[in-house]
């Protein structure tokens, strides 16, 4: 009897099929990335050097961490967090402020990440209790937040002799020191969303909020965790950013906004929520971070960068949407 | 909008005068009246008599005119249920392309025609991504925003300026400049044209078949498709309309400012959509709102910007104000039966 039942209710394992789909995305992205590197090397053989490796991995640090935060929001059905760069900047400004106050390192790190988290809490209150669409909330708070930062801080200089600047410029095991937190976060996010119960809840809420609610998951709690979590990850990026830049300005965030969204969309995260792989995200961040350096080697000025990134984003979202339409069979 | 039981029941008993006033103030009109009254009141107390001089009025209306023209065209895409975030960058591109061509000894009219075609081309790319492939309008046009800002910078650097105006192509077209500065008593001519455009658009949307089709597509796309409307074509043309408006606006700015700064129109999309949303449009669902409301919404922002200007406050204060105003407006929209998130 039990065998009969188990046969009758045998359904194809969902997790496995999703995994093979993610593997295809990862392979395609790797292929494109290698193609980009190969044509750059054919064009200029000195592309394969320590200097380019350093430039690319430094590029990856901040974009990678922010992309994990953005991926967190996207996978949980929060559409997009357009204010994630503001949480990054809040944390970088607070890092400098706390450093000037003479706080010790752990207190400084926790303090500035929590300040970013408070901003995320503000976002989530607007989303959960006023029921405003997160896209509008984060558009408005990102816009207003930039203004507030400019009025409150204007700009801050990072002491070049501080450990913060040292952290941003030093190397550890041949990679930039700041690269390692990004790599660890990627692996952590991968296991969290794949194997932990709490992580699966985010996927469930993102995939279908109504059935997640019927399952007994509190939507409010998940939404608050999503936006606070994304802001906390933005806060981690903020500390790295403080290490990279000698002078922090409130308009610095605009540079990162687009590559981060492009990375998430390219990695196959559905803007509708519920699907995406953080390993693929790592590869797409690597690919996007290689573009600026490759452009320089092709003799194009860096102003071409935003132009090309913009159109990569349009193409990526078009492909993403087309894939969904095709899967539904229209 | 769906009719709910209370609305049906409201025919049964007569509303008292107080209730009627309360009801009318809870709609978009009420928001606008209360908002305008608050800001003008603050301005009158804080700035004083200067608020009501005809010169100040000229300043407010002059600030308003070009964004109004851009906003009216952009409102078509909102009405059809697609948001075009790239209008601000499109304004910069249009200005830079126009100035580039004119400084390259191309006839002004020919340059204007080429500029419009270029902008329509990029509008068509938006259309293909959103309508043909079904991309999320906000993500796709955000990409277009950044891409076009980059392109404007690239073109601008082909005509490098000198000294402080390095990021701008300077160009003075006397005829265009006179046109943008012309005024009839305290009313800028450009504002009168923009206002006429508002009335014409209002007429198109309220009384013509085409206008009703646009509203139908934005209101319920499935129903519109089943009713036999060419929904995709309507969405596509609404995106072209917003690109067209931005291209006209960019060229007018060249005339007004005597040059094309690369940073022209930064955050303009935000201001314009906030204004349109104050006036009853929604960036999440199409089919609602009317141009008159959009005009009054923009008036609120212009009056506030004027207040900030007269008091010499940080211009970023206006950004913060607009950001929070947008949240309040969307919240009110939800209270009035707009789409809530979950």
The helix or strand, by DSSP H or E, that contains position A156, with its residue range, turns out to be strand A156-157
Helices A14-43 and A278-297, axial angle in degrees (round to 10): 10
Within 8 A of A319 by CB-CB distance, chain B residues are 133
Closest to B33 (Cα-Cα) out of B43, B44, B42, B24: B24
Contact assessment for residue A69 and residue A234, using Cβ atoms and an 8 Å cutoff: yes
Interatomic CA distance for residues A22 and A43, integer angstroms: 32
Closest to A321 (Cα-Cα) out of B144, B338, B175, B129: B129
| SS3 per residue for A256-324 | HHHHHHHHHHHCCCCCCCCCCCHHHHHHHHHHHHHHHHHHHHCCCCCCHHHHHHHHHHHHHHHHHHHHH
Min Cα separation B330/chain A (Å): 7
Q: Would you call B145 and A126 a contact, using CB atoms and an 8 Å cutoff?
A: no
pLDDT in the model for residue B1? 45
Interatomic CA distance for residues A89 and A111, integer angstroms: 14
pLDDT, tens digit (0-9, with 9 covering 90-100), for B14-32: 667 677 666 666 666 677 7
Q: Closest CB to B136: pick one of A301, A308, A317.
A: A317
Closest to B240 (Cα-Cα) out of B118, B58, B331, B333: B118
**What structural domains and CATH numbers belong to chain A?**
21-36+48-323 (1.10.3470)
The answer to ipTM > 0.90 is no
Kindly indicate the confidence band of residue A70, based on its pLDDT and cuts at 50, 70 and 90.
very high
Checking if the pLDDT of A15 tops 80, the result is no
A window 56-115, beta carbon within 8 A of B? 80
Q: Would you call B143 and A135 a contact, using CB atoms and an 8 Å cutoff?
A: no
Min Cα separation A163/chain B (Å): 33
A window 158-197, beta carbon within 8 A of B? none
Q: Does B138 touch chain A (CB under 8 A)?
A: yes
Full pLDDT tens readout for chain B, 342 residues = 444 555 544 455 566 767 766 666 666 667 777 777 777 777 777 777 776 777 888 888 888 889 999 999 999 999 998 988 899 999 999 999 998 888 888 888 899 999 999 999 999 999 999 998 888 888 888 889 889 988 988 888 887 665 555 677 777 777 788 888 877 877 888 889 999 999 999 888 888 888 889 889 888 888 888 988 888 899 999 999 999 999 999 999 988 888 888 888 877 888 898 888 877 787 777 888 888 888 888 888 888 888 887 777 777 777 788 788 888 877 877 776 666 776
pLDDT, tens digit (0-9, with 9 covering 90-100), for A228-249: 999 999 999 998 888 888 888 8
Contact assessment for residue A120 and residue A229, using Cβ atoms and an 8 Å cutoff: yes
Query: Could you tell me what percent of chain A has a pLDDT over 90?
Result: 15
Q: Does A305 touch chain B (CB under 8 A)?
A: yes
Chain B interface disruption, residue of A140, A151, A312, most B CBs within 10 A: A140
Q: Which residues of A27-62 are buried (b: 16+ CB within 10 A; e: fewer)?
A: eebeeebeeebeebeeeeeebeeeebebbbbbbbbb
Interatomic CA distance for residues B44 and B54, integer angstroms: 14
Min Cα separation B142/chain A (Å): 8
Q: Closest CB to B320: pick one of A137, A147, A305.
A: A147
Q: Would you call B133 and A258 a contact, using CB atoms and an 8 Å cutoff?
A: no
pLDDT in the model for residue A87? 93
Burial class of A330 by CB neighbour count within 10 A (0 to 12, 13 to 18, 19+): exposed
B window 284-323, beta carbon within 8 A of A? 284, 314, 316-317, 319-320, 322-323
Q: Does A139 touch chain B (CB under 8 A)?
A: yes
Q: Which residues of A202-216 are buried (b: 16+ CB within 10 A; e: fewer)?
A: bbbbbbbbeebbeee
pLDDT, tens digit (0-9, with 9 covering 90-100), for B116-155: 999 999 999 999 999 988 888 888 888 898 899 889 888 8
Query: Could you tell me what percent of chain A has a pLDDT over 70?
Result: 92
Within 8 A of B316 by CB-CB distance, chain A residues are 146-147, 150-151
Q: Does A129 touch chain B (CB under 8 A)?
A: no
Q: Does A152 touch chain B (CB under 8 A)?
A: no
Interatomic CA distance for residues B301 and B278, integer angstroms: 10
Q: Would you call A313 and B340 a contact, using CB atoms and an 8 Å cutoff?
A: no
Min Cα separation A231/chain B (Å): 19
Bridge partners of B138, per DSSP, are none
Interatomic CA distance for residues B113 and B97, integer angstroms: 11
Within 8 A of A147 by CB-CB distance, chain B residues are 316-317, 319-320, 323
Contact assessment for residue B141 and residue B84, using Cβ atoms and an 8 Å cutoff: yes
Detail the DSSP E strand segments found in chain B: 168-170, 183-184, 187-188, 259-261
Chain B interface disruption, residue of A139, A214, A217, A264, most B CBs within 10 A: A139
Q: Would you call B136 and A321 a contact, using CB atoms and an 8 Å cutoff?
A: yes
Which residues, in sequence order, are CB contacts of A285 under 8 Å at separation 6+? A60, A63, A64, A67, A263
Q: Would you call A307 and B147 a contact, using CB atoms and an 8 Å cutoff?
A: yes
């Amino acid at each position: 009897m039990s065998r009969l039942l188990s046969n009758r209710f045998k359904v194809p394992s969902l997790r496995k099929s999703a995994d093979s789909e993610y593997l295809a995305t990862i392979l395609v992205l790797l292929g494109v990335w290698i193609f980009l590197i190969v044509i750059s090397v054919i064009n200029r053989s000195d592309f394969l050097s320590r200097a380019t490796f350093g430039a690319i991995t430094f590029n990856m640090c901040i974009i990678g961490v922010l992309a994990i935060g953005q991926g967190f929001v996207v996978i949980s059905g929060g559409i997009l967090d357009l204010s994630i760069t503001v949480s990054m900047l809040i944390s970088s400004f607070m890092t400098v402020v706390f450093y000037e106050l003479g706080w010790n390192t752990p207190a400084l790190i926790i303090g500035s990440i929590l300040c970013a988290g408070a901003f995320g809490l503000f976002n989530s209150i607007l989303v959960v209790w006023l029921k405003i669409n997160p896209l509008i909330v984060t558009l408005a708070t990102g816009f207003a937040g930039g203004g507030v930062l400019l009025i409150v801080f204007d700009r801050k200089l990072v002491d070049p002799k501080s450990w913060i600047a040292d952290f941003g410029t030093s190397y550890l095991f041949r990679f930039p020191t700041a690269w390692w937190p990004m790599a660890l976060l990627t692996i952590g996010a991968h296991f969290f969303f794949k194997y932990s119960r709490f992580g699966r809840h985010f996927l469930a809420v993102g995939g279908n909020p109504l059935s997640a609610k019927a399952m007994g998951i509190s939507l409010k709690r998940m939404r608050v965790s999503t936006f606070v979590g994304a802001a906390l990850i933005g806060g981690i990026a903020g500390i790295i950013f403080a290490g990279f830049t000698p002078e922090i300005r409130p308009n610095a965030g605009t540079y990162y906004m687009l590559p981060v969204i492009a990375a998430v969309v390219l990695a196959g995260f559905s803007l509708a929520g519920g699907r995406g792989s953080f390993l693929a995200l790592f590869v797409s961040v690597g690919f996007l971070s290689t573009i600026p350096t490759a452009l320089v080697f092709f003799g194009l000025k860096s102003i071409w960068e935003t132009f090309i990134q913009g159109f990569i984003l349009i193409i990526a979202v078009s492909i993403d949407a087309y894939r969904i339409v095709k899967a539904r069979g229209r | 909008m769906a009719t709910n039981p209370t609305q049906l029941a409201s025919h049964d008993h007569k509303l008292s005068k107080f209730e009627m006033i309360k009801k009318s103030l809870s709609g978009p009109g009420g928001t606008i009246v209360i908002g305008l009254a608050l800001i003008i009141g603050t301005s009158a107390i804080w700035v004083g008599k200067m608020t009501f001089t005809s010169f100040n009025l000229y300043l407010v209306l002059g600030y308003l005119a070009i964004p109004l023209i851009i906003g009216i065209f952009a409102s078509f895409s909102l009405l059809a249920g697609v948001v075009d975030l790239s209008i601000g960058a499109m304004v910069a591109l249009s200005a830079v392309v126009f100035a580039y061509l004119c400084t390259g000894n191309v006839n002004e009219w020919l340059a204007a025609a080429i500029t419009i075609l270029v902008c329509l081309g990029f509008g068509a790319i938006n259309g293909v991504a959103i309508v043909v492939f079904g991309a999320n309008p906000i993500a796709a046009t955000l990409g277009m925003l950044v891409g076009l800002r980059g392109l404007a910078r690239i073109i601008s650097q082909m005509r490098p300026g000198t000294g402080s105006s390095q990021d701008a192509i300077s160009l003075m077209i006397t005829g265009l400049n006179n046109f943008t500065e012309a005024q009839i008593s305290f009313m800028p001519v450009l504002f009168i044209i923009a206002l006429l455009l508002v009335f014409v658009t209002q007429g198109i949307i309220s009384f013509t078949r085409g206008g009703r089709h646009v509203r139908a597509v934005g209101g319920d796309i499935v129903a519109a498709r089943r009713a036999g409307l060419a929904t995709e074509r309507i969405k596509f043309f609404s995106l072209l309309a917003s690109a067209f408006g931005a291209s006209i606006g960019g060229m007018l700015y060249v005339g007004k400012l005597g040059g094309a700064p690369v940073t022209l129109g930064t955050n303009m999309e935000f201001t314009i959509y906030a204004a349109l949303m104050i006036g009853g449009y929604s960036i999440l669902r199409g089919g609602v709102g009317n141009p008159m409301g959009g005009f009054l919404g923009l008036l609120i922002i212009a009056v506030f910007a004027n207040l900030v200007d007269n008091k010499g406050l940080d211009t970023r204060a206006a950004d913060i104000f607009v950001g929070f105003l947008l949240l309040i407006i969307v919240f009110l929209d939800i209270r009035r039966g707009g789409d809530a998130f979950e």
